[in-house]
Structure 1
């Protein structure tokens, strides 16, 4: 779903234009299924034959052409008002349906058609099942994304308050509510059947774009450990508890990652829980070239990872993000850039968002739209596939490779902060039964975990005052399964984090000296490393060492959500030790929904306090809707986000380390020195 990712807020830099050409559509021959069953290794080794065949088809298709997808193709459009299961903007544009039909769990709450606001659960479950059947009947492949409600506050997916993930994991106060939601997902997916009664395969893509901060499951609102366990729990609940066996599972962070696999894998749930490695990116830049260069770099990285891990690579969301057509050959340039790269061209499908109508963007052009001629050329290109081009999607004879046992620590999660004197240790072992499961703290005595009524091996961990005083502990769990010992571990932060004074963003003292805990507190854009520095700081024990790397991108950024009233402050202050380069930094504050920026140099290496008066902040360059807006006291009363950017201006310096400390709003203005 299109957002306002960090990438559109960053420095917009020039690059070389990408040219592309479109050929003439020709049919693509697909080999007949082999007589010997094809072995497939997927998350669900009990998946239906059609689901296994779909996975085999996607693997076989890789590099042979990219399947085009469209969200809500049959339920929203500019060319029809009443959905009938046949009307489609894609069909109106090029005479064919998309190869991929996207739907969303919002149908279950009546927030998107054909769900009905105020309708019963049964009615909306049936509506989502009907969507899947209609996409299948039109010859396409179905995907299901999930914009889940905030189970703590009752708000929507944009409501990032309440530390939701922690509350819906096992043991959390809203765990039962989350299970009830998954029950409806299970009923809708299991109820989507063909006339012969067989279940229709669906690619399920929950918790997407989690490296951004705009959803409650995103960075800054949960830790990587919590996210990983949430994804794993969702898979195990649907597959093992609810018996849903017609799903493939997709993982899809958001742009931009600078081609860095470590950034992509930071919240990866593991090979046993993911079938499809996805990636989302919208063109929000002022020009196509910087976006295309970063896109191709990231997609090549995704394809490389998918090949290494025997997964399917996919471009799970894309779109032209402008409110008006900025490039009449946008589809041609996009496809040309993908085709020109030997790895990026191997993504199996690319899916764009819904044509919700009205004044909103048309991600699929309709008759009369300025991009229609270019989209027609995109459709005719031999490297794009629509519904009529698909052959043998569900026909391959396959056999599932049986999954061996896996064990993981469910609670507490890695880098979770535990403030109570007692907490429950939970371990999941699947599919085998373990003969002995234990936990130990800091390498101490092993203590037994017992199988409980919920299917976890669990025990209460009593945390003494001496251990809590240390601030953290390493929890290690072991399971003996079929003569093999499986292990997992987590660093658990203990006790309350010291509160910061009003106006403070970070003093870098509340992470118990743990670099991973520091990294977990921020959203991340492009390649960099964050560590705590005991040597370069303004006060206390630590400052921030921000090591940037512009070899894969022209900028980098870290951010965090805030809920703050800064109306009593006049400036933003921080201690800064630059690296002596001509590169530049910028601070961004989102206040009353408007992003404001102020830049600063990195040339000084002595380490000094700098102060940026709020009166010198200007609306971010990419925000054309608030020209001349001022960061005044009224807006400062509604501060919701902070981002620290570093951008490349020095062609000779692509890597460096900048040290920061004491990020805070202050009442005494001074000029930047």
Structure 2
């Protein structure tokens, strides 16, 4: 194989923030222009940790230079899971067996620390599993590769795995939350494993850490519908600050990686963006179950181009952080080369620095790296032989750059309460974090009233009690503003806080759209969103009360869109799902989906009726989704109704129908 990858750029982009809305507390600035570096001078890099090791800074500089010079191939668990080896010796991998070389990136997961993935073990001690993850990082480094680390974290409330979305976990693990100490203990193990990953000369091995991935989907407890955007931003920031500032971890770059798709819209991608001071790599995850259809590739390239554009504006590394061919709808024997060709042909998408596929855990079609004999092996070999792909043997000078860190500017953010958090008791704690500087005075005020002083506490927050007048707990909203004096500069942040309890919905009810205080953003945060759609409250289109839901869709090249809400209820007392629906007169369709015990049951509805009517969908008429072959033939019986997890409402593109429109929904419930 021959992969000529020569890097001749003498500069990197210095980080700056795009002037785009990125959530509460995220600073904005204009894009930075490339800064030429005199010959022989160190390259300045702006990264999350301005005290990072020289090798970590050099890795960032390398990835910045790499844009447009070839895409690095990565593989999750390359040395610990595979079809071509049984002994984990740190030298064998399915990638090497398939194409003669290791991947350029080796992916690991914190599940090793829990003993849930090899080489961790359930019967091993905590120290042994920490050492196992450190050893993985060392082995990948010895193979000439770059290390990445994802985090499939357990549910810190229930003790179940990452797919258990109950318990509003993020709110519980933020500072002041009942499970905050458990989360700190988890981060302590991450810190020990990463700090234990050293080369024979004792130097730390850099790792790209990618926590809280695919958060715009609803399948993880840190995902949409299970936490708010503000809570997500704050837990991401807290994770960085704890590892960097409290534990002194100096060999991490930090990656942010939502899941597809956004229709190329940066506002959706940045909705939960923690801010430029907390992210080094702008990532994007997207798997294909369409056998490499033109529509999927078009959507992918548009989104990757959007990520690259944002990365250029912000001085970040763009990456395709998870990809794979699922084989769910038939195989395309040219899948890898068609994918690479589509990316390489786009002037923006081709600048992604790496693309990493998932582990060869086994199980039917899930060979993300096709081995000899697999239907896609020949094409994967062609992919590897393409001059634009980079494997371990092609890497040159990854840690060679002489760099200097650009000092991080002072930053202040409101940690608790978070934006649009609902408070129901007459007292709470205000917490503010000031980083990269000492603040001489930090205060908070409510709706512009008298400012109250916050004091630096033992955990490094400027904190203080906020006594709330019980008369205010009447479902009103107030603006909590915080201000910090740092040198001669005043830093500010604020949050909209909702006060008082709202009446719980009757048993079986999913939503009547009355409990959002008339606020569209609060409504949107209550649902997960798949592909392009917008949800707002409608006072004009409803079945009852003050509001219904206006559900605006834009299918684009995806062909469908969806919203979802957590249920976690027993519906055995009910026989039907009922809702009020006003269609838009199109030939598009809606699908009601009930998720229970891992099965996805569906019921179809036409959108042709524009009059608005109540629809009753008997549970006996729901059927498993066509793609859910693992549950084919199952019925939505009492056993499933006893454990209803999620309700989803999908809209799908009909033949010849418009790709955009608005439908209205109200009073969704089981009866």
SS at match of 1:336: helix
- Contact 2:7/2:69 (CA < 8 Å) preserved in 1? no
Contact between 1:72 and 1:354, CA under 8 Å: does it hold in 2? Answer: yes
Once structures 1 and 2 are overlaid, which stretch shifts more, 617-626 or 555-564? 617-626
What's the offset of the Cα at 1:552?
5.3
SS at match of 2:396: coil
Q: 1:143 aligns with which of 134, 144, 148?
A: 148
Change (3 A) 1:592 1:202: closer
User: Is 1:516 the counterpart of 2:493 in the alignment?
Assistant: no
Residue of structure 1 in register with 2:30 after alignment: none
Deviation per residue, 1:297-318 (Å, 9 max, x gap)? 2211111111111111101111
Contact 1:251/1:278, CA 8 A, preserved across alignment = yes
- Residues 115-172 of structure 1: CA deviation (Å, up to 9, x unaligned): 2222122211111111111111111100011111121121121222221111111111
- Map of 1:617 onto structure 2: 622
Instruction: Give, in angstroms, the shift of residue 323 of structure 1.
Output: 6.0
Partner residue, 1:224: 229
Task: Name the CA distance, whole Å, in 2 between partners of 1:501 and 1:487.
Answer: 41
Instruction: Tell me the distance in 1 between the aligned counterparts of 2:289 and 2:641.
Output: 26
Counterpart secondary structure, 2:107: strand
Matched, 1:591 2:596: yes
| Secondary structure of the corresponding residue to residue 469 of structure 1 | coil
In the other structure, the counterpart of 2:134 is 129
Distance in 1 (CA, whole Å) between partners of 2:48 and 2:601 is: 44
TM-score, length basis structure 1: 0.92
Deviation at 1:359, TM superposition (A): 4.7
Tell me which residue corresponds to 1:492: 497
Q: 1:179 to 1:628 in 2, by over 3 A?
A: closer
The answer (yes or no) to whether the contact 2:155–2:221 under 8 Å persists in 1 is yes
Q: How does 1:99-248 map to 2 (within 5 A)?
A: 99-248=104-253
Shift of 1:104: 0.9
- The question of whether the paired residues in 1 share the 8 Å contact of 2:296 and 2:558 is answered with no
- Partner of residue 301 from structure 1, selected from 301, 306, 316: 306
What is the match of residue 33 of structure 2? none
Report the alpha carbon displacement of residue 358 of structure 1 after superposing the two structures with TM: 5.7
1:631, distance to aligned residue in structure 2 (A): 2.7
3-state SS in 2 of match to 1:139: coil
Aligned to 1:98: 103
Asked if the contact 1:66/1:383 (under 8 Å) is kept, the reply is: yes
Greater CA deviation, 454-463 or 530-539?
Answer: 530-539
**Do residues 28 (structure 1) and 33 (structure 2) align?**
no
Specify whether residues 285 and 594 from structure 1 end up closer, same or farther in structure 2 by C-alpha distance, changes over 3 A only. Answer: farther
Q: Deviations over 1:509-555 (max 9, x none)?
A: 11111111111111001122111112221111111111222345322
SS at match of 1:449: strand
Residue 636 in 1 paired to residue 635 in 2?
Answer: no
Q: Which residue of 1 aligns with 2:661?
A: 656
Give ranges in structure 2 of 5+ residues lacking alignment.
11-38
Equivalent runs, 1:241-256 vs 2, <5 Å: 241-256=246-261
Query: For residues 32 and 221 of structure 1, what CA distance do their matches in structure 2 show?
Result: 44
Aligned residue number for residue 354 of structure 2:
349
The 3-state SS of whatever aligns with 1:234 is: helix
Query: How do residues 564-603 of structure 1 correspond to structure 2 at under 5 angstroms?
Result: 564-603=569-608
Q: Work out the CA distance in 2 between the residues paired with 1:287 and 1:319.
A: 10
Deviations 1:170-215 (CA, angstroms, capped at 9, x unpaired): 1111111111111111111111111221111110001111111121
Residues 592, 636 of structure 1: 8 Å contact kept: no
Q: Which residue of 2 aligns with 1:258?
A: 263
* Cα gap change, 1:152 to 1:633, in 2 (>3 Å): closer
Structure 1 stretch 486-495 or stretch 25-34: which is displaced more? 25-34
CA distance, structure 1, for counterparts of residue 130 and residue 343 of structure 2: 37
Q: Distance in 1 between matches of 2:597 and 2:129?
A: 35
Distance 2:525 2:291 in 1: 30
Structure 2 match to 1:447? 452
How far 1:652 moved relative to its partner? 6.0
Root-mean-square deviation (Å): 1.8
Alpha-carbon deviation of 1:611?
1.9
The two structures have a TM-score, normalised by structure 2, of 0.93
**1:76 equivalent in alignment to 2:53:** no
Partner Cα distance (2:346, 2:639) in 1: 49
Residues 259 and 552 in structure 1, CA contact (< 8 A), matched pair in contact too: no
- What is the CA distance between 1:37 and its match in structure 2? 1.2
Paired residues of 2:291 and 2:329 also in contact (CA < 8 A): no
Q: 1:368 matched to which residue of 2? A: 373
Distance in 1 between residues matched to 2:290 and 2:321, nearest whole Å: 19
CA 1:324–1:367 in 2, change beyond 3 Å: closer, same or farther? farther
Distance between the aligned counterparts of 1:129 and 1:359, measured in 2? 31
Q: 2: distance between equivalents of 1:146 and 1:599?
A: 36
- Contact (CA 8 Å) 1:255, 1:279: kept in 2 or not? yes
Superposed CA deviations along residues 281-335 of structure 1, whole A, max 9, x for unmatched, are: 1113366333322222221111111111111110111111126962222211211
**Preserved CA contact (<8 Å) 2:482 2:494:** yes
CA drift of 1:601 comes to 2.2
Instruction: Give me the whole-angstrom Cα distance separating, in 2, the residues matched to 1:479 and 1:304.
Output: 33
The residue number in structure 1 matching 2:323 is 318
Structure 1 residue ranges (4+ consecutive) displaced by more than 4 angstroms after TM superposition: none
Of 282, 307, 310, 1:277 maps to: 282
Q: Indicate yes or no: 2:376 matched with 1:399.
A: no
* Range 608-617 or range 638-647, more displaced: 608-617
SS in 2 for 1:557: strand
CA distance in structure 1 between the partners assigned to 2:353 and 2:277 by the alignment: 20
Residue number in structure 2 paired with 1:12: none
Following superposition, the deviation at residue 474 of structure 1 comes to: 1.4
Q: Tell me if 1:560 matches 2:537.
A: no
Q: 1:220 to 1:652 in 2, by over 3 A?
A: closer
Q: Is the 8 A contact 1:325 1:370 kept in 2?
A: no
Farther-moved stretch of structure 1 (506-515 vs 589-598)? 589-598
- Rounded Cα–Cα distance in structure 1 between residues aligned with 2:436 and 2:581: 52
Q: Distance in 2 between matches of 1:171 and 1:408?
A: 16
CA apart distance, 1:647: 2.0
Q: Deviations over 1:389-419 (max 9, x none)?
A: 1111111111111111000000011111212
Cα separation, partners in 2 of 1:396 and 1:183, compared to 1, 3 Å? same
Shift of the 630–652 alpha-carbon distance from structure 1 to 2, 3 Å rule, reads: closer
CA contact (8 A) 1:32 1:392 kept: no
Instruction: Decide whether the 8 Å contact of 1:527 with 1:552 is kept in 2.
Output: no
In structure 1, how many angstroms separate the alpha carbons of the residues matched to 2:557 and 2:369? 30
Aligned residues between the structures: 643
